[in-house]
Structure 1
Amino acid sequence: MIAITGATGHLGRLTVQALLARGVPASDLVALVRDPAKAADLAAQGVQVRHADYHQPDTLRTALQGVQRLLLISSNDFNDRVGQHRHVIQAARDAGVTLLAYTSILNADTTPMLLAGDHQATETLIRESGLPFVFLRNGWYIENYTDSLAQTLAQGGMIGSAGEGRLTPAARQDYAEAAAAVLSTAGHEGQAYELGGDQALTLSDLAADISRVSGQPVTYTNMPVDEYTRTLMGFGLPEGTATVFADADAGIERGDLATNSGDLRRLIARPSTPAADVIRAALGAQ
């Protein structure tokens, strides 16, 4: 039995569908969710839906009964993420889970990015737990930029602090298929996969792709990190969040969100999705 935490989130839903596409029976899949009502579509496909809340360890212990393989999708609640993950890890150990896959961050061993701290701490907890594990160190999602595509097109530009640093983003679908491959096949125990797309892009390159696909002029404007932080705060982001986002761009400039490992391509057995295709799909969804 394979369980996926956060199964009603973007990555979780795509991973469930990728597992079904690989021929895993729906009855062998467990969608772990905070609100089962939001997983009615998964239940209709025959997937088991179980209530599981990172903040409520008792729900986790119950939900993980009989589970052999577990995908821990990192929490998007930044209030003590490591504590939330600890609850899942402890429940997985108590339930006898035989493989714990965790969605970490690219180059977790070396990056000083603020965003990486929780992932690094969680990887340590997993190693210390004694559970067989695999780390899916996901790079940036192309959707980090296309989810705000309407605003980008309206403004005719993107801003950031990445300079001419290159990143290797991939589509959510790509990362979901990689997770499904790891969960449904053998031989991944103890691996740390550095996952990123085949294209190495600057944010200027990405702006040019958006412009080319949309037919509207879009440019990238680079800012010093401090100025970018203040600008994000001016958009209404809390200072802490703005600081983390701007620091991530500084990481892009250093190359922290780039990889040439080829791990993603090998796991999904195809090239990664080009940024232009993700942009085109986002435009079609507007």
Structure 2
Amino acid sequence: MKITVTGATGHLGRHVIAALLEQVPAERVAAVVRSREKAADLAARGVEVRVADYDEPATLADAFRAGERVLFVSGNAVGRRVPQHRAVVDAAAAARVGLLAYTGILGGPKADFLLADEHKATEQLVLDSGVPYAFLRNGWYHEVHTDQLAAVLGHGAVLGSAGAGRIAAASRADYAAAAAAVLTGEGHEGRAYELSGDTAWSLPEYAAEVARQSGAQVGYRDLPPAEHRRVLLGAGLPEAMADVLVDVDAAVSRGLLAGTSGELSRLIGRPTTPLAEAVAAGLAAAPAEGPATRQP
């Protein structure tokens, strides 16, 4: 039985493939990707590469096999994900996969912010399909913030509109390890996991940690939502994405991404990556200059 990962050359997908290859032989792993060239390194390791595109349903007809366990990594095209995801679910159902694990968002049906809408719709598509499922409701990634450290250091500020709201973030590698545990383990069918970091932190605390480790003067500037939106638009973000990010900060201010259920650390069998470690990795990887925006 193969384990198949969609979006396998993306930020999360690559971590999942790496985690799987630590536990199962490469010939048991399949990667669904849009570009065969970008997956050449996976093919060289013995991973089966299948080419398909969420935007082209016909290409998904050969993406899955009967009985396989599939990690369905959500797309990143905010506003287009429901039809994309419907195509994936339909293809998985037609193939009669053994398990479809979907990467949603913390809170599931209770999440009342814009970014959650397409995830909630996708979970319903999965339920309606009758496919055996597991919902991996991922919280926030440290990297959403630490990938922007070059810009933060350049501006001397972390910008946002979340106030003192807290974020129970973890690393992509943490969430990937949880996905690998579900894909290789037993007893996960029909489960919905609320996954988040062990410790929640605020954007002021994040800015202080960046300042401590970098030696630079970095603080948090809390902006009114309308001004935050203007900054994001001025940095070149599309209106839809700017609206989503401002709305996420509003959700953070209401405590909707602060939950620390402990389910992530229990699944992976270790503590989740602490903020200080994530900042250190981000600083080590930060280019000379970078974008002034953040995207989930």
Query: What is the TM-score when the length of structure 2 is the normalising length?
Result: 0.94
Q: Which residues of structure 2 form unaligned runs of 5+?
A: 287-296
SS in 2 for 1:169: coil
Q: How many residues align?
A: 285
SS in 2 for 1:193: strand
CA distance in 2, matches of 1:89, 1:253: 33
AA in 2 matched with 1:21: E
Match of 1:16 in 2: 17
CA distance in 2, matches of 1:241, 1:62: 32
Q: Which residues of structure 1 form unaligned runs of 5+?
A: none
Stretches of 4+ aligned residues off by more than 3 angstroms: none
Match of 1:181 in 2: 181
Summarize deviations over 1:10-35 as a string: whole Å, max 9, x none: 1001100001112x110010000011
CA distance in 1, matches of 2:145, 2:106: 18
AA in 2 matched with 1:29: V
SS in 1 for 2:193: strand
Match of 1:218 in 2: 218
SS in 1 for 2:108: coil
**Which of 31-40 and 255-264 deviates more?**
255-264
**Per-residue deviation at 1:6?**
0.5
Q: Tell whether the 8 Å contact from 2:67 to 2:99 is kept in structure 1 after alignment.
A: no
Q: How does 1:42-81 map to 2 (within 5 A)?
A: 42-66=42-66, 68-81=68-81
Are residue 3 (structure 1) and residue 4 (structure 2) matched?
Answer: yes
Match of 2:280 in 1: 280
Match of 2:270 in 1: 270
Summarize deviations over 1:225-251 as a string: whole Å, max 9, x none: 122112211222222221111000000
Q: Tell whether the 8 Å contact from 2:199 to 2:260 is kept in structure 1 after alignment.
A: no
**Per-residue deviation at 1:213?**
1.5
SS in 2 for 1:109: helix
* RMSD of aligned Cα (Å): 1.1
Q: Tell whether the 8 Å contact from 2:66 to 2:98 is kept in structure 1 after alignment.
A: no
Q: Tell whether the 8 Å contact from 1:33 to 1:52 is kept in structure 2 after alignment.
A: yes
**Per-residue deviation at 1:67?**
5.3
CA distance in 1, matches of 2:239, 2:178: 34
**Per-residue deviation at 1:79?**
4.7
Are residue 108 (structure 1) and residue 105 (structure 2) matched?
Answer: no
Q: How does 1:147-158 map to 2 (within 5 A)?
A: 147-158=147-158
Summarize deviations over 1:232-276 as a string: whole Å, max 9, x none: 112222222211110000000011112121110001100000111
Match of 1:83 in 2: 83
CA distance in 2, matches of 1:84, 1:2: 21
Q: Tell whether the 8 Å contact from 1:166 to 1:200 is kept in structure 2 after alignment.
A: yes
**Per-residue deviation at 1:66?**
4.3
Q: Tell whether the 8 Å contact from 1:208 to 1:219 is kept in structure 2 after alignment.
A: yes
SS in 1 for 2:260: coil
CA distance in 1, matches of 2:229, 2:53: 32
CA distance in 2, matches of 1:240, 1:258: 24
